[in-house]
Structure 1
Amino acid sequence: MAWDTEETDGSTIAAGPVPGTDLSHSIRVPWSILVAFMLLVLLCSRKIRFYLKYHSFAGIYFFFGIICIPIMLFNARDPKSTRIPRLLVRKVQSPLFGITTKMIGLERYPEGPFVIVCNHQSSLDCIGVMELWPPRCVILMKKMLKYAGPFGLGAILAGSIFVDRSNHRSAKDTLSQAVKIIQTKGYRVLIFPEGTRKLPKESSGKIGNSEPLLPFKKGAFNLAILSQVPIVPVVFSSQKHLIDFKEYKFVSGEYTGVVLPPIATKGLTLEDVPDLSDRVRAKMIACFNEMEQTQSR
């Protein structure tokens, strides 16, 4: 408790700590030191800066979901509802992080329904996907993403098809559902046939297949043949000049996407799936390698 004392001139002063001076100063100093230390670590640690930027790039979909969901409810489960998230990716995420995609061959898309198969390298693919996205298109994705908060709800409202690859019966039911959607609604379906992301080995630092594309899963080709619609391969060029998990590099720049000529499936049966898958994969690898050589010149 403060008490009064008299100075020589007779004035009265408080002999205790003055509010807002010593106490606030004692709090500000350690907090200032902590903030300065954190900023120093952030500026000095390339790894921390890399992961902050990378997770910010991916985490922005949480906020996009919050913005888009109320609007997407007006066209629930309809590909039309993808317009707003596509606009946000192209007008906000792409310029904010300086990542752009140059698309070549969009005029090759055929009329009517078809199945797009696309290589998958990193989260940066989403920029290119929004550029290649044709009208009346839905995406087939892993079931676990259905529960990814606002992103998952947005994907549901966009009419995405979710597949549980760990459950053969469920995956078969999903395939039948996708065939029905193509045949009755004339939708296009986008699939990543590798099933997971595959950055070049020298970029990711992971030991794995030395080829630029992982072996393809057969779902996309089963779907195209059962629906008797064309396969349209799309190849994204290497992103190793933009993102490198081994060197902790994430910089602005551009990569290329190429739409290859459609491959007809009319008259084919499920027995032709392995050959069709191999042919499509070979064409995509050849295109990827050609772009890699052009990029290195």
Structure 2
Amino acid sequence: MVWDAENKEGDTIGLEPSPGTDSSLSSPSLWITLFVSCAIVITSNRKLRFYLKYHAFTGIYFFFGIICVPFMLFNPCDPKAVTVPIFLARWVQSPLFGISAKIIGMERYPDGPFVFVCNHQSSLDCLGVVELWPPRSVIIMKKVLKYAGPFGICAILAGTIFVDRNKNRSNRDNLKDAIEVIKRKGYRVFFFPEGTRRLTQKNTESSDPMLPFKKGAFNLAILTQVPIVPIVFQSQKHLIDFKKYIFVPGEYKGVVLPPISTEGLTLDDAQDLCDRVRAKMIDCFNELENGSYTK
């Protein structure tokens, strides 16, 4: 745009578009129309709304990572460093998305180190995990997550144990770091033994309430002779459904079951221990689903 300061008669000041300029691009009505159109598309498309909200829920960890790293540097590679991430998940993410978890039975945690295993329903599990998280605890993660930007940096600073799932490595070599933190530091170690989320798109066809368990947690508990503490999250299908594109506010329950001793067991007993723990967890899961669970 250029100013036409005065015409030949000297009685007017006006504006004219400069050559090649499309004045419609700066028109407020154009931007309002675009905004309204986007709003209509989003509100009328359930699938789009679902994925926008879901990716916002998971993507928030990128921003949490940026916020948390400076604070976590005060306790690097130590379980104490999780204080700030837990605070943000509990007091920002949970109220922002309206998702909360009620945990039953935390008084059952034994003194000293133990291995706790939990079924993995969805990304919403993180809000249950922060509610049940006992002091001096670290989590087992796939090594690839170590490189997941700010999230990976936070995981490193929280003392996370990264496992390389190379089939050529022995059970003891794969769990060497976890064995060390239990025996020397007395930490508690957290596993999702299913290895992936039950309610993801690819797993929705499975009829089992839990996917098959990997034996890593049970090998670790036996090698260190510490108890297994099972934790069961109820189904979150009333909150998130990848087939119906539902993601709504609400609450889900989690139950801490009594510890299971590994004293005197050897690695030959790992599969039996794994099967017994999974069976107990499925029984509890079914009771939660049909409303018959009593503490």
Equivalent AA in structure 2 for residue 210 of structure 1: S
- The 1-side partners of 2:228 and 2:252 are apart by 23
The total of aligned residue pairs comes to 288
TM-aligned CA distance change 1:259 to 1:206, over 3 Å? closer
Aligned partner of residue 198 in structure 1, secondary structure: coil
The residue identity in structure 1 corresponding to 2:26 is I
Check if 1:108 corresponds to 2:108.
yes
What is the alpha-carbon distance in structure 1 between the residues aligned to residue 82 and residue 204 of structure 2?
36
Rounded to whole Å, the distance in 2 between the matches of 1:168 and 1:95 is 44
Query: What code does the residue aligned with 2:283 have?
Result: A
**How far is the alpha carbon of 1:204 from its aligned partner?**
4.7
Q: Find the counterpart in structure 2 of residue 229 from structure 1.
A: 226
Among 238, 242, 245, the residue aligned to 1:245 = 242
Moved over 4 A (4+): 1-5, 12-16, 22-26, 203-208
Q: Does residue 122 of structure 1 match 2:122?
A: yes
Q: 1:215 aligns with which of 212, 217, 224?
A: 212
- How much has 1:283 moved relative to structure 2? 0.2
Structure 1 Cα separation of the partners of residues 83 and 15 of structure 2: 65
Report the CA distance between 1:3 and its aligned residue: 9.5
1:256 maps to what in 2?
253
Q: Report the counterpart of residue 11 of structure 1 in structure 2.
A: 10
Distance 2:215 2:172 in 1: 12
**What CA deviation, in whole Å up to 9, does each residue of 1:118-144 have, x standing for no partner?**
000110000000011010000001111
1:133 corresponds in structure 2 to: 133
1:274 maps to amino acid: Q
The correspondence of residues 1-297 of structure 1 with structure 2, limited to 5 A, is 5-6=7-8, 10-13=9-12, 17=16, 24-28=23-27, 29-169=29-169, 172-199=172-199, 204=201, 206=203, 208-294=205-291
Relative to its length, the structure with more helix (as a share) is 1
Q: 1:4 and 1:83 mapped to 2: Cα distance?
A: 67
Contact 2:17 2:23 in 1 (8 A): no
Unpaired segments of 5 or more residues in structure 2? none
Counterpart of 1:168 in 2: which secondary structure? Answer: coil
SS in 2 for 1:75: coil
Q: 1: CA distance between counterparts of 2:15 and 2:89?
A: 58
The separation in 2 between residues aligned to 1:262 and 1:281, in whole angstroms, is 13
Percent of aligned positions with the same letter in both sequences?
Answer: 62
Deviation readout 1:48-69 (Å, 9 max, x if unpaired): 1111111111111111111111
One-letter code of the match for 2:148? A
How does the TM-score come out when normalised to structure 1?
Answer: 0.90
